[in-house]
Structure 1
Amino acid sequence: MLDDKTIKILYDIVIKEIHQVPYLIEKFSLSRRQFAYIIEKINAEFANDDEEKLKIENDVISTPLGFLDARRKYFKSYLHQDSMIITGQNRQDLLLFLLCQGKDYNPLDDAMEIIESSRSTTLSELNILKDRLSRRSIFIRYNRDRGYYIVGDEQEIRYLVIEKILHHVHSANGVDIISFFFKKRSTEDHGEIERFIQQLLEKYDLQIFGDRLRELTVGFSILLPRLLKFENFLLDDRVIDQSSSSYKFTRELCSSYGIYQYNNINYVYYWVKGLSSTSDLSNKESKVIVPLLTSFLRSFEAVSGVRVSTDSPLYMTLYHHFQSSYYRVMFKFPIVNPLLEMIQDDYFGLYNIVALSTNLSSGTYFKQISKDELAFLTIHLLVSFTELQKNSSVYRRCLIICPHGVGTSAFIQKELSKLFKGIDFYLPGQLEEDDLSKIDFIVSTVLDETIEKYDKPYIVVDPYMIYKRSKDLEKNIGQLIQPKSWDGINIEDILSIVRSHVSLNQFLDIQQSLIKYQIQSDEMNKEMEELPLLSQLITPNLVTLQIQASDWESAVYQTALPLITYGKVTESYVNEMIQTVKDLGPYVVITKSVALPHARPEAGAKELAISVGVLQSPVNFGNRENDPVKYVFGLSALDSHTHLEAMSELVELLEEDKFYHLLDSAGTAEEIVDYIKEYEQRRVL
């Protein structure tokens, strides 16, 4: 029998088609010897003869077609049967779901049945779970009258259950622990609860989709016994709008299942609000959400130089995000962002700007916001700022199946469109039913029945590894859409001739090169233009040291004067800088002693640039927390995104004490620019 790690590696090889040995070794923290041993175990379990065995050649796993087909059926079969592969972590989560249902009596036999294990294994898993839960002040108890049960802060228990549900909802490891749990044991018929919730959503015209809908239906089914029994906590009810569709939905859902306690009804209401959103800005909650969004956008403009108008599509996108995020954050509901690591690594510039913007924003909400929420906010901004350019000649059409949410789906669509210019990528809601038949292949983040109903070639991918594994994706997608002919030339004939003259690896490389050439035009094969760095925007002639300023207006004008002198902006742009502070207040003071004045591009920005002014004596801008200001950075931005990479550098530099010391001690402007260039080199390393 294969262990947990081996099963996960096999899944990556077979379903996700990850064949690069160094990547798998790094992902699973293995030595080469350990990895080779795992491949031997897989072969011993499944391969009937040498022709079906996995082999490692030049750091690539060779996967015979017969082996792949058989193992795909092996994993897909678990979608349709009552048993499944149960890992140690899965066993502990099953026990958690069992105990958190709050039943009157949970004997050891029930625990043994739910994880299909012996008495000794079950006791061992209970002890491991007990240790894990105790770190969160949740405790497993036992007595003869109740058997095993769980105690602790009720909101924390519910938070933990939903968090685990989200983990499994977002997981694409080929095992459906949630379906398994309901097949084994459930207080109510989960299928009936799911259907009833969907009917109520239609009745009250509420929109909850994908993973968020599954979170609600699964979480409500598992937590229902607790919602009927426990109410030892209080929730602020000042933002509840009893006339809203969300509240009417909640009341009918709760009353239909016997939930009448006031706090539990409110709990479900806030849960629903954290999963859904509406476009109505006139309702009661808008009085809470609009000030939060206004505070964030003002801070974001101060840090990035990007102004978002209230009539723009981005404003409504962000409103919807804050609308649901507010309830998740303030009423302690978990959120899991499967793209968090990717956003932090590959889009750290914008992520850092968003993080600083939330730090500068006022309100309890911003002090409690998680990294997952920050990453979702970054995704919304990133998708909005990026113009998706499509080739006029599209060779293939791809359907993206991703139940992880609208923002995540749009982000994946953007990334894939960027990587494969000759392919048109669609989300399910973007196509009419008739058009679905014209789809050539599918890219999915999960392996489930949805893929089967389309009867199209498919690949399964990790959403957060799309960018890092672009070469593997090119290979896998290329194999799915290999052309029959091209410009009158039969590609298969060419490849059949080539095959007899080269090695297998050379043949695969040539095949992939032909496919890549066929699906991408010359224009789209050009590398994307990199965003300018900070050292390209701050040049020595734009740096002014030892400025003598009598007040903040003088400080801004003298700092921005080189921008006028060297043709970066018009004088009206600088006047607009000053007027903006007068109109909107000292929001341009973004941190201690630092101001970042700017204006709208149409006010007179001519070139992308940043000027630097170091004052001889600090001046007050009227910002109680961060006055007085000694360092002024004047920004000339031409659009909403070109300067963001440079701004992210500046945000990082402003966290270094050495940078401030240099600004104070520098005798020439060149010293400051040289320091920025050295920093950029360190940043790359």
Structure 2
Amino acid sequence: MINIDEKQKRILQLLCQNDEYVSLEWLQETLSVSKRTVYYLINKINDTLAVYQIAPIQNKRGAGYYIENEQKKQIQSLFTESLVESSLKAEDRIQFLICWLLYPDKVIHVETIMECFGISRNSVFSDLKKLKTEIQKYHLDLVYSPKEGYKLQGIPANFHAIFLHYIMILLQKVSYREIFFLNVSEVELYYRRLLSISDQLGNEYKGDNYLLAISCLLSITHHTNEKFDFSLLELKDLGKTKELNLIDEMFQDFNVHERLYLAIYLLGSKAGNTVAYKDDEKDIELFELAQVLTEKFEKVSRIRFSDKNELINSLYLHFKLSLYYYKISIQIMNPFTADVKKNYPDLYEIVNTLCIENEDIFPFPLSEGEIVYITIHFGGHIRNESSYLYRKMRVLIVCPSGISTSVLLRKEIENSFANIQVVDSIAVADIPDTVKDIDFIISTVDIQAQVPCIKVHTILSREDKSRIASLISLNENTYSNNPNGIEELLNIVYRYVDPKDHENVKTDIIQFLQNGNPLLQINEISQYRLCEVLNVDDIVLANKQMGWEEGIKVASRPLLNNGYIKPNYIASMINLVCDYGPYFVLRNGVALAHGKSNEGANMLGLSLLVNKSGVLFEYLEVKLLFVLSSPDQNKHLRLLRDIMELSEDEKIVQEILEQTTTALIHEKIKLLYHDIAKK
């Protein structure tokens, strides 16, 4: 362990907690010492670091002192306790500041922030700069005046949703008791009330810190003089919900508008639910929107939905709720945004592009959270038609978060584990007293049942999949080549355990796995990328103007010659153009042709026709014509995203067209692919 005095250790703490240069004056003021003492302490620290072969503290004239991230790790290894455990990281501070500045409890100046977080003036300005960038997507502005200090300005009706979004992220890292601008006693009071409401509704709202986040919001907004832009008549239909009836009973100290707002946020947390309001003029428009979006998604993604009508109806109901919120000037943040973008990046990007291109047909603004909800609906209806050669395990899903999220969870489980059959998706209150013919339960909340249970996130993580796979491995009837279940594993363990303890060891291991702890690890299969599928031999170079039908045939020739497709696949593409027009033309003269997966697609493949004179699709001219073959509904999404990103850059397209051989074209695409991947 490193041997330094407390003042030297304090300097290291301050430098490790800051991501920017720390001035000499600030160190002097914080430590209450002279400049000479600061110089002396820094020199002593550098002498000590040299002994451990660690680079010295950097000193930049006019800026101050700084420690690189790698140095911080090396320095931290010399201490038994964390140097920064009491400090928030820069990203966390920004989230903290957004919540604080939405509803400031006092005048906030730079010095106020320095004191609260123990950071330098430079770090404060750096945080505020990053904060400005972060809040732009919510149409917020950071304003300052000497009298009122820093605060956020924007549409007040959106403050609730923005606060909930960031406080939920913050609560994953710190306790609400550590958030100094909250009234802890009120937070706990409102949280108990909301838990009681959730219990009476069958635990529909437990999990994911949402109720705690709402309680934090209530502890602030209950003491503000907020103005509401909607009339009580607009919200008359909320009176039909159980949520509002229970809120009226439990929150009698709140005014009627506050209770209505609370009901809306509870309902809004359940993706797919809708308040039953009647608006005949918009119903047809919303239903047509759901139809158009589904059909365009099918065309762009070359995915066919076997339950297309069910998907359209679920989107229609969701759009009704979104329009309703928009009419009463309320913005709902999507609690699944980060999880969906992390676990379904390709699907999200395709849906995002599709929505932005068709933004003018939506009767309400398209926020990032709204696009994520649409992604959830599409993802929940993509099926994997994998076959299986063993008994399927019967699984019950308990998912109170909402209709569309439970559908996505169900599909993700069935697609990830071909030997699982999801019997049903139900709420906690609907779990029968006696669970029959069920191998185990997968739930997003803590439950007690007679069969093994696994608690997972609403959007499955890699760790969740590992726990499910481990529990599957316990079922001796699932795999015919291992009739003894885990006996072989236990026999290995028994070699190192006293025989009299064998039975207890077996019981403990089985209990460990039945409680959802992972024995196996799921390795995520990466999706194929553009340069992994497209080879030199798959590229055709031409300089002759041709019609679209000839263009498709020429572009498909490499796939046909190599057995990736059958002749009827080319006919399928031509028929689709006849039926729908040039729907697969993207941007900047780039198109991606494809047929139906069950009409001659043998395996995943990609070819490219580069025609400098163009392929004419009615009034559109295409110079880069890709042809995609994929018998699987899921494996090509990353590939599709690569091509869409390529088509968005006119400069990239032009550079490809300037190449004179197929080898040069392939090499250029390889280089461009790496550039795209970095973005």
Smaller-chain TM-score range? 0.5 to 0.7
SS in 2 for 1:352: helix
The code of the aligned residue for 2:185 comes to: K
The code of the aligned residue for 1:612 comes to: L
Identify if the C-alpha distance between structure 1 residues 252 and 485 changes in structure 2 by more than 3 Å, giving closer, same or farther: closer
In the TM superposition, what is the alpha-carbon distance from 1:335 to its structure 2 partner?
Answer: 2.5
Counterpart for residue 542 of structure 2 = 546
Counterpart for residue 607 of structure 2 = 611
The code of the aligned residue for 1:340 comes to: A
Identify if the C-alpha distance between structure 1 residues 654 and 152 changes in structure 2 by more than 3 Å, giving closer, same or farther: closer
Q: Distance in 1 between matches of 2:521 and 2:151?
A: 60
Is 2:642 the counterpart of 1:649? yes
Q: Deviations over 1:507-533 (max 9, x none)?
A: xxxx9xxx9xxx999xx9998876554
Tell me which of 154, 162, 165 is aligned to 1:163: 165
Summarize the alignment of residues 183-194 of structure 1 with structure 2, pairs less than 5 Å apart: 184-185=185-186, 191-192=192-193
Question: After alignment, is 534-543 or 585-594 more displaced?
Answer: 534-543
In the TM superposition, what is the alpha-carbon distance from 1:355 to its structure 2 partner?
Answer: 3.1
In the TM superposition, what is the alpha-carbon distance from 1:604 to its structure 2 partner?
Answer: 4.0
The code of the aligned residue for 2:608 comes to: V
Tell me which of 147, 154, 157 is aligned to 2:156: 154
Q: Distance in 1 between matches of 2:604 and 2:636?
A: 7
Q: Deviations over 1:237-278 (max 9, x none)?
A: 9xx7966887897699689754369xx969975984574534
Counterpart for residue 635 of structure 1 = 628
The code of the aligned residue for 2:627 comes to: G
CA contact (8 A) 2:394 2:438 kept: no
Q: Distance in 1 between matches of 2:284 and 2:14?
A: 49
Let me know the Cα RMSD of the aligned residues.
Answer: 6.8
Tell me which of 574, 589, 594 is aligned to 1:598: 594
Q: Distance in 1 between matches of 2:563 and 2:378?
A: 30
Q: Distance in 2 between matches of 1:543 and 1:386?
A: 31
Gaps of 5+ in 1: 8-27, 46-86, 100-105, 112-117, 445-449, 499-510
In the TM superposition, what is the alpha-carbon distance from 1:289 to its structure 2 partner?
Answer: 3.6
Identify if the C-alpha distance between structure 1 residues 650 and 122 changes in structure 2 by more than 3 Å, giving closer, same or farther: closer
CA contact (8 A) 2:544 2:611 kept: yes
CA contact (8 A) 1:568 1:636 kept: yes
Identify if the C-alpha distance between structure 1 residues 544 and 97 changes in structure 2 by more than 3 Å, giving closer, same or farther: closer
In the TM superposition, what is the alpha-carbon distance from 1:644 to its structure 2 partner?
Answer: 2.4
Is 2:29 the counterpart of 1:36? no
CA contact (8 A) 1:402 1:409 kept: no
Summarize the alignment of residues 190-205 of structure 1 with structure 2, pairs less than 5 Å apart: 191-192=192-193, 195=196
CA contact (8 A) 2:340 2:372 kept: no
In the TM superposition, what is the alpha-carbon distance from 1:654 to its structure 2 partner?
Answer: 2.7
Identify if the C-alpha distance between structure 1 residues 354 and 172 changes in structure 2 by more than 3 Å, giving closer, same or farther: same
Using the size of structure 2 for normalisation, the TM-score is: 0.58
CA contact (8 A) 1:546 1:616 kept: yes
Summarize the alignment of residues 284-323 of structure 1 with structure 2, pairs less than 5 Å apart: 284=280, 286-308=283-305, 311=308, 314-315=311-312
Tell me which of 579, 586, 589 is aligned to 2:585: 589
In the TM superposition, what is the alpha-carbon distance from 1:161 to its structure 2 partner?
Answer: 2.9
The code of the aligned residue for 1:634 comes to: V
Q: Distance in 2 between matches of 1:458 and 1:324?
A: 33
Q: Distance in 1 between matches of 2:360 and 2:209?
A: 26
Is 2:328 the counterpart of 1:333? no
Q: Taking every aligned residue pair, what percent have the same amino acid on both sides?
A: 16
Summarize the alignment of residues 653-664 of structure 1 with structure 2, pairs less than 5 Å apart: 653-657=646-650, 659-664=652-657
Summarize the alignment of residues 380-391 of structure 1 with structure 2, pairs less than 5 Å apart: 381-382=378-379, 384-385=381-382, 387=384
CA contact (8 A) 1:251 1:265 kept: no
Q: Distance in 2 between matches of 1:680 and 1:308?
A: 30
Q: Deviations over 1:123-172 (max 9, x none)?
A: 999x98997999844679999xx9x9998642243344333443356x26
Identify if the C-alpha distance between structure 1 residues 172 and 576 changes in structure 2 by more than 3 Å, giving closer, same or farther: same
Q: Deviations over 1:588-610 (max 9, x none)?
A: 22223222233323444444433
Q: Distance in 2 between matches of 1:150 and 1:520?
A: 45
Q: Distance in 2 between matches of 1:462 and 1:306?
A: 26
Q: Deviations over 1:354-399 (max 9, x none)?
A: 3332333342759964555555555555565464999958999999
SS in 1 for 2:586: strand
Identify if the C-alpha distance between structure 1 residues 597 and 216 changes in structure 2 by more than 3 Å, giving closer, same or farther: same
Counterpart for residue 658 of structure 2 = 665
Q: Distance in 2 between matches of 1:404 and 1:6?
A: 43
Q: Deviations over 1:591-641 (max 9, x none)?
A: 232222333234444444333233343466467xxx443332233332312
Q: Distance in 1 between matches of 2:408 and 2:151?
A: 42
Identify if the C-alpha distance between structure 1 residues 251 and 363 changes in structure 2 by more than 3 Å, giving closer, same or farther: farther
In the TM superposition, what is the alpha-carbon distance from 1:563 to its structure 2 partner?
Answer: 5.0
